[in-house]
Amino acid sequence: MDEVDKKFAYQAATGRRNGQFFGLIFDGYYNSWEEINALDRPVSAWSSNQLQPGDCRYVDVNKDGRIDEYDYVPIGYSNIPEIVYGISFGFSWKGFDFSMLFQGASNVSIQYNGRALWPFINGTESAKAYILDRWTPERYAAGEDILFPRLSINPSGH
C-alpha cells in the first residue's frame, strides 16, 4: 500500500512499525513572561497565542517558527510489543495443585485517553496528583520536580 507523501521525511510511516505514535517533543515549561514574549519563540498553531507561565513548551522540529502538525515526530514505541514473554510454574502434592503464571511485554507504548488524560473529566476524578505536582511559580523557584503543567480549565490549553 502506498503512503501519501509527507512534507518532511521524518513524518513518514514507511519503514516504521505498525502502530507507531507521532507527537510533539516536550521541551519543558514556559517559566516566565520573558520566555513567552521572546521574539524568537515559536508560535503555536493551536493555543491562539494565549500562553501563560506553566504551559508546555515544544520543540520546533522543522524550524519554521510555528508549532504545528509539521513538528510531529515518532515518539516512543509502537502500540504492538516488540517483546512478549512469560514463565509458568506449578506443582502438585497430595491432591493440592498450585500454579503461577508471570507474563509481560516490553518495548511498547500506550496512548492515554479519557480519565487517564484529563484529570477533571466529568468532575468525578481524583486530581490530587495534578494539583500537588503541577507547575506553580513557587515550585519552579524552589527547584522542585514538576510533573504537570499549570492548572487550566481549557482542555487543549497546554
Q: Is residue 19 over pLDDT 90? A: no
78/12: higher pLDDT? 78
| Phi, then psi, of 117 in degrees rounded to 5 | -95, -40
The H or E element containing residue 34 is helix 33-37
pLDDT on residue 158: 57
Q: Quote the radius of gyration of the chain (alpha carbons, Å).
A: 22
> Where residue 26 falls among pLDDT bands split at 50, 70, 90?
very high
Contact indicator for 157, 134 with CB cutoff of 8 Å:
no
CA 153, distance to chain mean position in Å, is: 19
Q: Give the number of other Cβ atoms within 10 Å of residue 150's Cβ.
A: 19
pLDDT digits (tens, 9 = 90+) for 47-84: 665 888 999 999 999 999 999 999 999 999 999 999 99
Report CA torsion sign: 11, 15, 16, 19.
positive
Amino acid at 132: L
pLDDT on residue 45: 80
| Cell matching residue 38 | 521572546
User: What does the alpha-carbon distance between residue 100 and residue 98 come to, in Å, rounded to a whole number?
Assistant: 7
pLDDT on residue 11: 79
pLDDT on residue 112: 75
Amino acid at 102: F
| Cell matching residue 19 | 502502530
